[in-house]
A and B are shown apart, each in its own frame.
Chain A
Amino acid sequence: MVSFRRIYVDFKVFSIGYFRNKFGLFFGLIFPVVLILIFGAIFSGESGPINVYAQNQDTGAFDQNIGNEFLTALNESSTMRVITVDVSENFTDYLAAHSSSEGIIIPPNFTENYLLEQPVNITVYGSPASSTSGIISGTINGYANYFNLQRFNGIMIIGLNSATVNTSQTSYIDFLVPGLIGFAILTNPMFSLVNIAADYKKNKLFRQLSLTPLTKMEWLIAKVLFYIALSLAGFLLMVGVGVFAFGAHITLSLWLIPFLILGPTLFASLGMLVGTVAKNPETAGVIGNIVTFPMMFLSGTFFPMDFMPSYLQTIAHALPLFYVTEGLNNVMVYNNIPNALVDIAVLGIITLVIFVLAVKLFKWREN
C-alpha cells in the first residue's frame, strides 16, 4: 500500500535538503532563466534594415537625376539602407572587399532612358542561396514597378495592407520558450536522479531507507513530485521572462499540465534507471550524458525540427523529449490540441513503462 503520508514526509525532507544546496537551486531555477535570457537576447533582437551597396553611374539629364531619386526612395523603405559607392570604384571588387554579395548598379543614361521611355535595366547583385538577396530584389522590383507606373501617370490600384495570421507570426523566441522548458524538464530530474541513484547506492543510503517503512515506490514518487513542482516553477519563470522580456507569443492552457506532470515523471524515472544499472557514480554520469545529450539536441530544443535532415527527424521520434517539446509547441505556439493529445498519449505510455522499470529494477538492499 502506497502511503501518502510517507511520500509527503520524504518529499519535505528532500526539498529542504535540495534548497540548502546552492548548486541545486542554481541548476533548478536560475540556469533555465539564464538560458532563456541568453538565447532570447541573441535571436529576438529587432533585426534592422539590410545594408545594400549601390553605385549610381547615372549622370542625370534635363536637370533631373532619376537614379538618385530611385536610391533615395529605396533608402526610405523600411527594408534596406542604401550605402552609395563612388563611381570611381570597381563595384564587384568593392563588394568583395566589404564581404557583401548584395548590391545595385544604376546604369549611365538611366535618367535619359527613363524620361524618353526607353527600356533600361538596373543590375542587382545577389546570391541565390541567401534569403536577404530575395528580399532585396523583391523590394527593388516593387520600386521599379512604382517608378514605371509614375512615368505613365498610372494609379496604384492594388495596395498592401500589412496584417498577420497567428501561425505566420511565430518568431524564434516563441519557439524557444517551449524548447527550453522541455530542456529544463529533461535535465533537472534526469541529472539529479542519475546522481542520487548512484550516490545513494555507494553511500548505502538506500539500505538505510530500507530499514524504515518507506517503500521504493514511495521514495521515487516523492522525488517525482518534487521535480514536477520544480518544473512548474521553472515553467512559470521561463514563460514570464519569455513574455515580458522578449514579447513571446504564447498560449497558456490547461493542456500544458499533462506535459508538466508526465515530463518530470518520465525523466526522473529514466535518471533512476540509468543510476541503477550503472556500477558506480562515474559510469552513471557517463551513461547519463550519453542518454541526455542526443535527446537534448535532436528533439527540437534549440532549433526547429524542420532544419534537420529527414533521417534525423525519424530518429527524433524515438526520443521521449521529442513528445514533450512537440507537445508544448502544439499547445503554446500553434494551439493545436488534437496533435497535443497524441503527444500526451505517447508520453503517457513511455512514462508508465520507464517508471515501472525503474521501481522494479532498483534495489534497496544488497544480495
Chain B
Amino acid sequence: MFSIEVTDLKKSYSGLKAVDGISFKIKQGEVFGLLGPNGAGKTTTIEIMEGLRERDSGDVKILGLDPWKDGYEVHKRIGVIPQDFTFFEKTTPKEAIKYYASLFNVKVDADAILKEVLLDEMEKHVFESLSGGQKQKTGLALSLVNSPEILFLDEPTTGLDPNARRAIWEVIRGLKAKGKTIILTTHYLDEAQQLSDRVAIMDHGHIVAMGTIEEIIEQNGSGERLEIHGDKQLADYIQANTELQVTYDDMKGIITIPLKKKIDMLAALAAAEQSGMKWGEIQTRQDSLDDVFIKLVNDPFGEQIEEEAIEQQQNGNKKGRQ
C-alpha cells in the first residue's frame, strides 16, 4: 500500500526547471529521506506533495488524493513543517497548539506535545520572541496536532542544537513506530542515515540515486578497499606478487587495494609481509554516504574546475599546433 505516488512530476519557475520529471513511491510507514544540495528542488517537490504548490505536469497521489485539487481533504490527514516556518507573532506555542486543536476539532494535551518537542519551558513566550530552533520546534508541535497519517518535514532540524536534534529524532522514531509515513529533507547525511528507510538524492530537479543507503553506497561507491601506509617499492612488490590491482598515492604515501572479496586482504598482507619492507598503519575503508553524495551531486564548484581544466587543455593543444 503506497501512501505517496509521484509520477513524472515537473515544475518550472519562469523558465527555471526546479523539478524535472521525477517519480517515486513511498510505502505506508516508511521514512523517506530527500537529500540534495541547495536549490536541488526538494522544497518544491515537498510543497507540491503537501498541496501548497501547483505542479506543471505529472501525477501526484497523496493517500489516493490529488493534493492540489483535494487540498482541503489532504490537509486534514497530513502534518507539515515548512522549511521557513513562521506563525502569528504575538501567539505563544501553547496557544498555537490549542488554536490548531480547535480548528481541527480534536482534543490534545498541549503540555504533553510541548514536552515531547522540548518546548515546555517556552510555553508562555510569544512566537516572535522564540529562538530559531524554538520556532522550528513549534512547527513540529503544530504538525502533530491532527495526528496526521503522513508527515512532511522540510529540514526539521536545521539550526537546532545537538540535544534538540536528538529530541526531534526521538519524536520522529516514535512516529515511525506508530506507523506514520514520513518524508524528511535534510542536509545532515548522518540524520538521513539515522532515520530513513530509503533516501532519494536530488540534483538540479532530477533524482540521481534512490534506495536504501546501503544500496546507494553499493551502486555508486567504490566498494571496500584496503589502505596500507608504505612506500612505492612496497606497492610495486605487492603488484608484482599478487593478482591484485594496486594504486599508490605519492603525496599521502598510501597504497590502496580494492577488495573484490574479503579474502583478497589476506593475499595483500601476505605479500607485504613477504617483501620484508617496512609498512605502517593498515585499514579497510568503504565509501560513506558523504563520499557517494559528493560523487553524485555535481556541485557547481567542481564543474567549474573541470571546465577550466578542459579549457586549459584546449589552449595547450592550440599552442602545440602553432
B52 touches A365 (CB 8 A): yes
Q: Are B53 and A366 in contact (CB under 8 A)?
A: yes
* A207 and B88 form a contact (CB under 8 A): no
Please state if B54 and A16 are interface contacts (CB–CB under 8 Å).
Answer: no
Chain A residues in 8 Å Cβ range of B71: 210, 365
Q: Is B91 touching A16 in the complex (CB atoms < 8 A)?
A: yes
CB-defined contacts of B85 to chain A, threshold 8 Å: 208
Q: Are A6 and B103 in contact (CB under 8 A)?
A: yes
Which residues of chain A from 11 to 36 have any CB-CB distance to chain B below 8 Å in the complex? 13-14, 16-18, 20-21
Q: Do B84 and A204 have beta carbons less than 8 Å apart?
A: yes
Tell me whether B205 is interfacial, beta carbon within 8 Å: no
- Kindly list chain A residues whose C-beta atoms are within 8 Å of the C-beta of B102: 5-6, 9
- Distance (whole angstroms) from the CB of B153 to the closest CB of chain A: 13
Chain A nearest Cβ from B12, distance in angstroms: 12
A165 at interface, CB cutoff 8 A: no
Q: A212-B104, A213-B104 are in contact. Are A367 and B54 (CB under 8 A)?
A: yes
Shortest Cβ distance from B198 into chain A, in angstroms? 25
Q: How far is the CA of A323 from the CA of B89 in the complex (A)?
A: 35
How many angstroms from the CA of A203 to the CA of B89 in the assembled complex?
11
Cβ contact within 8 Å between B76 and A204: no
B51 A365 Cβ-Cβ under 8 A:
yes
Q: How many residues of B contact A (CB 8 A)?
A: 28
Q: Is A205 interfacial (CB-CB < 8 Å)?
A: yes
Interface string of B79-113 (1 = CB under 8 A from A): 01010111111110001000110111100000000
User: Residue of B at shortest CB range from A13?
Assistant: B99
CA distance A10 to B105 in the complex (A): 13
Instruction: Output the residue of B76, B78, B102, B103 with the most chain A CB within 10 A.
Output: B103
Bound-state Cα–Cα, A68 to B7, Å: 107
8 Å CB contacts to B: which residues of A209-242? 210-214
Point out the residues of chain B lying under 8 angstroms from A9, CB to CB: 99, 102-103
**Which residues on the B side are within 8 Å of A203 (C-beta)?**
86
The 8 Å CB contact of A213, one of B53, B75, B88, is B75
**0 or 1 for each of A171-211: is its CB under 8 Å from B? (1 = yes):** 00000000000000000000000000000000111011011
CA–CA, A232 and B169, complex, Å: 50
Question: 0/1 per residue, B107-142, Cβ < 8 Å to A?
Answer: 000000000000000000010000000000000000
| Interface assignment of B301: CB less than 8 Å from any CB of chain A | no
- Are A213 and B87 also in contact (CB < 8 A) when A207-B52, A367-B54 are? no
A255: min CB distance to chain B, Å: 36
Cα of A243 to Cα of B76 in the assembled complex, Å: 52
Interface bracket on A? 20 to 34
For B104, the chain A residues whose CB sits under 8 A away are: 212-213
In the bound complex, CA of A207 to CA of B54 (Å): 13
Interface string of B170-210 (1 = CB under 8 A from A): 00000000000000000000000000000000000000000
Which of A17, A208, A213 contacts B86, CB < 8 Å? A208
Q: How far is the CA of A67 from the CA of B49 in the complex (A)?
A: 99
Is A212's CB under 8 angstroms from B100's CB? yes
B53 and A365 within 8 A (CB): yes
Contacts of A307-355 to chain B: CB distance below 8 A? none
**Contacts A6-B102, A208-B85 known; A366 to B52 CB distance under 8 Å?**
yes
Q: How far is the CA of A367 from the CA of B51 in the complex (A)?
A: 10
Least CB separation from A213: chain B residue: B103
Looking at the complex, which one of A16, A21, A208, A367 makes contact with B82 (CB distance below 8 Å)? A208
Instruction: List the B side residues contacting A21 at CB < 8 Å.
Output: 90
Residues on B with C-beta less than 8 A from A10 are 99, 103
Give the nearest-CB partner of B143 in chain A. A211
Residue of B nearest to A8 (CB): B102
Which residues of chain A are near B126, meaning CB under 8 Å?
20
A5 to B102, CA, bound (A): 8
The smallest C-beta distance from B75 to any residue of chain A, in angstroms, reads 5
Is B86's CB under 8 angstroms from A205's CB?
yes
Determine the chain A residues whose CB is within 8 A of the CB of B88 once the complex forms: 13-14, 17, 205
- Specify which chain A residues have a CB less than 8 angstroms from the CB of B89 in the assembled complex: 17
CA distance A365 to B104 in the complex (A): 19
User: Mind listing 26 A-B residue pairs with CB under 8 Å?
Assistant: A5-B102, A6-B102, A9-B99, A9-B103, A16-B95, A17-B89, A18-B90, A20-B90, A203-B86, A204-B84, A207-B52, A207-B82, A208-B82, A210-B75, A211-B52, A212-B104, A213-B72, A213-B104, A214-B103, A365-B51, A365-B52, A365-B54, A365-B71, A366-B52, A366-B53, A367-B54
The 5 closest A-B pairs by CB, nearest first: A17-B90, A9-B102, A20-B90, A212-B103, A203-B86
**Residues on A close to B: CB < 8 A?**
5-6, 9-10, 13-14, 16-18, 20-21, 203-205, 207-208, 210-214, 365-367
